[in-house]
Homo-oligomer: A and B are copies of this chain.
Amino acid sequence: MGTSTVKDIAEKLNLSVATVSRAINNKEYVKEETRQRVLQALKEYNYVPNEIARSLKLQSTKTVAVIVPDICEAFFGKIIKGIERTIAYREYSIIVADTDEKKENEKRYLDMLFQKRIDALVFATVDLSGDYVKNYFSSFPIVFIDNIPELEDVDCVVIDNAKASRMAVEYLIERGHREIAVIIGSVKETTGYARREGYLDTLKQYEIPVDPDLIQYGNYKEDAGYRCMETLLKQRKEHPFTAVYVTCEMMTFGAIKAIHARGLRIPEDISLVGFDIQDRAKLIFPSITTVRQPESVIGRKVGELLLKRLDEKDSGKHTSEKILLEPYMEEGESVKPINGR
């Protein structure tokens, strides 16, 4: 399927390229008859616009990039789908980059994408300093998801992480739990910090004293979840707890394994609330009660914000937007109610 150019068409029709271009782009000032002749010829000579040439001229590539730490996580997959669905009608397409959770790769991609002159970026960064990305703030609009770097005035779409913790902890408290352990990611990341705040606030609200030893910190990986849980289990005599709330997916898995490794059962011996657990097949046993994020909504909101920024393009400054979405609980069988005490 070779293709022809505007010039080819113009020659065949004895028109100028300008007229053909106008006809193609449905611009004004083209006689209806001429337009029809052009449209006809486009088909006949198998014309497909060269988006590259157009990009060069218009200084816009109609391309949005999405950088994520791991494309295999369904969480990001769903968000990407949501974005795609939202911006597709405007003819934007998406370049996906997978950083493997590495800062070096973030840099590499940022440079590469700028060279490709993307129109906008959606960024789930692992570099909370934002040191490198801020070089690009003036180059194209950027919307952050998942983690927000410690920078002023950034656009982002995230869930209310404090609220997520509040929901999880209240869920447990309502079922009679008062000694609640928690496993948290780095408080240097927003996802870690806010989730801890929510936990602490809720305990305070219910006048439950905080035992610092019941708060364990990991690095979001499964191993860390395992180790944190082990620590909790070892010190359980001195620092008893009836339930544990794990604030991210992989650490939840690790924690569960650690519990099983000790020969303990969920929820009989320990109740557990997880985070971001997606059990498509409902095959995990026992099924996990978990905090969930509305991925498709996140995707849609990101898409909408993107389009807004794209339209504002150099039409002056704007204030940054922080869009907070609601997390929700998905109930499984991993929490056992405690009757009184």
> A residues bordering B, Cβ < 8 Å?
1-3, 48-53, 55-56, 61, 63, 70-72, 74, 77-78, 80-81, 84, 91, 93-98, 100, 111-117, 135-139, 222, 253, 256-257, 280-285
Contacts and interface: CB of A to CB of B under 8 A. Distances in A.
A48 B95 CA distance: 19
- 5 closest pairs, A vs B, by CB? A72-B77, A253-B281, A96-B96, A51-B115, A285-B285
Contacts of A135: 1
Given A51-B116, A257-B281, 20 more contacts: A1-B136, A2-B138, A2-B139, A48-B114, A50-B56, A50-B117, A52-B56, A52-B117, A63-B95, A72-B81, A74-B74, A80-B98, A93-B97, A93-B116, A94-B95, A94-B96, A96-B96, A253-B283, A283-B284, A283-B285
A256 B281 CA distance: 9
Interface centre among A3, A98, A283 (most CB of B within 10 A): A283
Contacts of A72: 74, 77-78, 81
15 contacts: A48-B114, A50-B56, A63-B95, A71-B77, A71-B80, A80-B98, A93-B97, A93-B113, A94-B96, A253-B281, A253-B283, A256-B281, A257-B281, A257-B282, A284-B285
A226 B257 CA distance: 29
Contacts of A2: 138-139
B98 A81 contact: yes
Contacts of A115: 48-51
